[in-house]
Amino acid sequence: MIIEYHRPQTVEEALALLARSQPVAVPLGGGTVLNQPSEKDFAVVDLQSLDLGTIAQDGREMTLGATVTLQNLLDSGEVSPALARAIRHEAAYNLRQMATVAGSLVAADGRSPFATVMLALDAHLSMARHESDAKKVPLGEFLPLQSEHVPESLITSVAIPSQTQLTYHYVARSPADLPIVCAAVAQWPSGRTRVALGGHGEIPLLVLDGRSPDGAEKAARSAYSQAGDQWASAEYRSDVADTLVRRCVQELGE
Ligand X SMILES: Cc1cc2nc3c(=O)[nH]c(=O)nc-3n(C[C@H](O)[C@H](O)[C@H](O)COP(=O)(O)OP(=O)(O)OC[C@H]3O[C@@H](n4cnc5c(N)ncnc54)[C@H](O)[C@@H]3O)c2cc1C
State how far the Cα of 200 lies from the Cα of 215, in Å rounded to an integer. 21
Ranges within 106-145 binding ligand X (CB under 6 A)? 106-107, 112
Q: Which is nearer to ligand X, 71 or 167 (CB)?
A: 71
Cα separations in angstroms, 116 against 25, 163, 166: 28, 18, 11
Q: Which is nearer to ligand X, 155 or 196 (CB)?
A: 155
Applying CB under 6 A, does 28 fall inside the site for ligand X?
A: yes
The stretch among 27-35, 186-194, 218-226, 227-235 that binds ligand X (CB under 6 A) is: 27-35
Q: Which is nearer to ligand X, 90 or 122 (CB)?
A: 90
Q: Which is nearer to ligand X, 98 or 252 (CB)?
A: 98
Alpha carbon 159 to chain centroid, angstroms = 11
Among 16, 74, 98, 172, binds ligand X (CB under 6 A): 98
Specify the amino acid at residue 160.
I
Applying CB under 6 A, does 71 fall inside the site for ligand X?
A: no
State how far the Cα of 246 lies from the Cα of 155, in Å rounded to an integer. 34
Applying CB under 6 A, does 55 fall inside the site for ligand X?
A: no
The stretch among 53-61, 80-88, 151-159, 183-191 that binds ligand X (CB under 6 A) is: 151-159
Of 31, 177, 168, 171, which is closest to residue 92 (Cα–Cα)? 177
Buried b (16+ CB within 10 A) or exposed e, 181-199: bbbbbbbeeeeebbbbbbb
Ranges within 169-228 binding ligand X (CB under 6 A)? 178
Within a 10 A sphere around the Cβ of 32, how many other Cβ atoms? Answer: 18
Among 30, 140, 179, 199, binds ligand X (CB under 6 A): 30
Do 103 and 32 touch, CB atoms closer than 8 A?
Answer: yes
The stretch among 2-10, 93-101, 162-170, 181-189 that binds ligand X (CB under 6 A) is: 93-101
Helix axes 113-120, 81-90, angle to 10 degrees: 150
Applying CB under 6 A, does 91 fall inside the site for ligand X?
A: yes
Do 99 and 29 touch, CB atoms closer than 8 A?
Answer: yes
Q: Which is nearer to ligand X, 127 or 216 (CB)?
A: 127
Number of residues that bind ligand X (CB under 6 A): 28
Binding site for ligand X (CB under 6 A): 26-34, 47, 66, 90-91, 95, 98-100, 102-104, 106-107, 112, 150-151, 154-155, 178
